[in-house]
Amino acid sequence: MARVLITSAIPYINGIKHLGNLVGSQLPADLYARYLRGRGHEVLFLCATDEHGTPAELAAAKAGKPVAEYCARMWAVQDELGRGFRLSFDHFGRSSSPQNHALTQHFAGRLADAGLIEEAWEKQIYSKADDRFLPDRYIEGTCPNCGYDKARGDQCESCTIQLTPTELIEPRSAISGSTDLEVRETRHLHLKQSQLRMQLSDWIDSKTDWPVLTTSIARKWLNDGDGLQDRGITRDLDWGIPVKRGTEDWPGMEGKVFYVWFDAPIEYIACAHEWVAAGKGDDWKRWWRTDQGAEDVRYVQFMGKDNVPFHTLSFPATILGSGEPWKLVDYIKSFNYLNYDGGQFSTSQGRGVFMDQALEILPSDYWRWWLLSHVPETSDAEFTWEAFQQDVNKDLADVLGNFVSRITKFCRSKFGAVVPEGGFHGPREQALITDLQTRLGRYQAHMDAIEIRKAAAELRAIWVTGNEYLQSAAPWAAFKHDPQTAAAMTRFALNLIPFYAGLSAPFIPDTAQAMADAMGVPLAWPACAETALTALPAGHGFTVPDVLFTKISNDQRKAWQARFAGVRT
């Protein structure tokens, strides 16, 4: 039995996440967590909301609420939607937690003690009308290069040239439109990541089994230009973790907070502390401190590709720089993007299907199956309603659902709702057992390697074998002249249901549970096909489950296409 720590990239607080966000980190992380638990491993699966930063403050202002109140409410919303999608977090925390405050300040203190923090004066744009400093991209103006009048202070989206805010012609606040801006000097802390460059580079080089997407992004940042750059880790904002050096005040840093990307990854650790504080566990350092029991933990992170630099470099720099034995990530699974019907999902533009809307129209298993079996592992993937309807109807309703339906109903009509007795396994059954044992091995290998699409394809192939078996065995024909043999065939086919349920649970947990319940057995991962497929004894009662998956009709699909064609209002 192994111990595996799993974290999903923590979703930002400023709204309900769309399916692209979901499939890029939380859903695959959940799949892996459920699989490992099923295999009997000890898992700690953590996620949280990422609550700091300018966008959170602006979202709160737009909602007309104090930012703390806004975040608390949005945390509750995201927590509920996570439950709706059956995300099996051991704890869903908040980066604004007291635990994260203390831990973030602790790390800053350790880094300062190690000589890895330096203070620097910076020139920042201040908006008097908004009464705040503005990040570069929150300043708009005319591009000095191409004349585009909505260029941002970091880059012109029209001609893609890199900009600084002071280069913009007629700059204005993107928040209020005010042109009453001025450059102010402000003092900030910088993390001297450059000093850790070789250490980080060696560490990345040692990760030969990581996806190319992960290592190539890390190497780019390590080697581009002058190499890894030092990074500001503080901001002039109200909402955030106050800058402290451990528990001590930090002279000159009054009124400032840590940069959200400094405190957000630390929340992975603090979340374990929250997990204990919530009474769900009793020793969080056993998962995070290699000197206190975590030396045998395997730590796996899941994230979209946009998050990779912070997880391969910034956060490891924080940990390595602290000089303390915190657990470093062992494997990073990163994903490309899921697009929506010819364009990108967009939270800011309200484009696509959002988690709450998805659950309004269909049970979570439909979404889980489709999204996971099409997870953007090697390149960007695309969601279309036609593909969704076609794939879900075929895979879930026809292949899996109908298999359960046909065999349970056949049995009930011929033998009653009881596993029939009589007859013996023949070569056909033995051959299928052998085949399924092979497939089980392949499926597990893909899951172990977190090759999600391949795992989904193998699982589907396993479902198909049930229909193939019934077709070739044809118990309905045997029943007419040889009821004993028909009984043995039926008993064998019924045994496939709990076998399928166990294997399918990571993908479609609700349906898997319903399958196990219908057969009157606990949901369990099969140790081997031979044993699992003889588990249901003759005389064991069962119930014919309701239709597991209702098909998506063309009318439904068209209605949803129309409903989700525009932007969310």
Contacts for 538 with CB less than 8 Å, ≥ 6 apart? 419, 420, 421, 422, 491
Q: Which is nearer to RNA, 3 or 28 (CB)?
A: 28
∠ CA 503-509-514, rounded to 5°: 95
The secondary structure element, H or E, covering residue 214 is helix 212-223
Binding of RNA at residue 245 (CB under 7 A)?
A: no
- Binds RNA by CB under 7 A, chosen from 27, 28, 50, 256: 50
- Binds RNA by CB under 7 A, chosen from 69, 118, 180, 380: 380
Phi first, then psi, for residue 45 (nearest 5°) are -115, 115
Q: Which is nearer to RNA, 53 or 321 (CB)?
A: 53
Q: Which is nearer to RNA, 4 or 181 (CB)?
A: 181
> Closest approach of Cβ 325 to RNA, in Å?
26
| Three-state secondary-structure class, residue 256 | coil
∠ CA 75-373-17, rounded to 5°: 20
- Binds RNA by CB under 7 A, chosen from 113, 119, 136, 330: 136
> Closest approach of Cβ 243 to RNA, in Å?
15
Q: Which stretches of 211-283 are assigned E, i.e. beta strand? A: 231-232, 234-235, 244-245, 248-249, 257-258
Q: What is the CA radius of gyration of the chain?
A: 27
- Binds RNA by CB under 7 A, chosen from 61, 102, 113, 124: 124
Q: Considering only residues 183-202, where is the footprint of RNA by CB under 7 A?
A: 188
Q: Considering only residues 386-445, where is the footprint of RNA by CB under 7 A?
A: 387, 390-391, 394, 397-402, 404-407, 409-410, 413
Diameter over CA atoms, the chain: 93
Q: Considering only residues 23-42, where is the footprint of RNA by CB under 7 A?
A: none
Measure the CA–CA gap between 424 and 485, rounded to whole angstroms: 7
Q: Which is nearer to RNA, 128 or 409 (CB)?
A: 409
> Closest approach of Cβ 200 to RNA, in Å?
11
The window from 286-294, 318-326, 423-431, 469-477 that contacts RNA (CB under 7 A) reads 469-477
Binding of RNA at residue 53 (CB under 7 A)?
A: yes
Measure the CA–CA gap between 543 and 520, rounded to whole angstroms: 8
Neighbours of 52 (CB within 10 A): 29
The residue to which tokens 């030396």 are assigned: 295
- Binds RNA by CB under 7 A, chosen from 6, 264, 269, 516: 264
Binding of RNA at residue 467 (CB under 7 A)?
A: yes
Structure tokens at 407: 């065999």
Binding of RNA at residue 220 (CB under 7 A)?
A: yes
Judging by beta carbons within 10 Å of its beta carbon (0-12, 13-18, 19+), is residue 45 exposed, middle or buried? Answer: buried
Measure the CA–CA gap between 107 and 553, rounded to whole angstroms: 54
- Binds RNA by CB under 7 A, chosen from 16, 359, 464, 524: 464
Q: Which is nearer to RNA, 179 or 216 (CB)?
A: 216
Q: Which is nearer to RNA, 105 or 389 (CB)?
A: 389
Binding of RNA at residue 229 (CB under 7 A)?
A: yes
Q: For residue 261, how many C-alpha atoms fall within 13 Å in the half-sphere facing its CB?
A: 17
Q: Which is nearer to RNA, 153 or 509 (CB)?
A: 153
Q: Write the CA distances from 492 to 177, 472, 489, integer angstroms.
A: 71, 13, 5
Measure the CA–CA gap between 489 and 425, rounded to whole angstroms: 8
The window from 154-162, 318-326, 424-432, 529-537 that contacts RNA (CB under 7 A) reads 154-162
Question: Residues 528-547 vs RNA: string with x where CB under 7 A?
Answer: -------------------x
> Closest approach of Cβ 509 to RNA, in Å?
16
Closest alpha carbon to 472 in 494, 487, 493, 503: 493
Question: Residues 66-85 vs RNA: string with x where CB under 7 A?
Answer: --------------------
Q: Which is nearer to RNA, 37 or 52 (CB)?
A: 52
Q: Considering only residues 285-304, where is the footprint of RNA by CB under 7 A?
A: none
- Binds RNA by CB under 7 A, chosen from 144, 232, 246, 293: 232
Size of the site for RNA (CB under 7 A): 86
The window from 267-275, 437-445, 453-461, 523-531 that contacts RNA (CB under 7 A) reads 453-461
Contacts for 212 with CB less than 8 Å, ≥ 6 apart? none
Q: Which is nearer to RNA, 55 or 325 (CB)?
A: 55
Pairing verdict, β 3-8 and 42-49: parallel
Q: Considering only residues 348-377, where is the footprint of RNA by CB under 7 A?
A: 374, 376-377
Q: Which is nearer to RNA, 405 or 556 (CB)?
A: 405
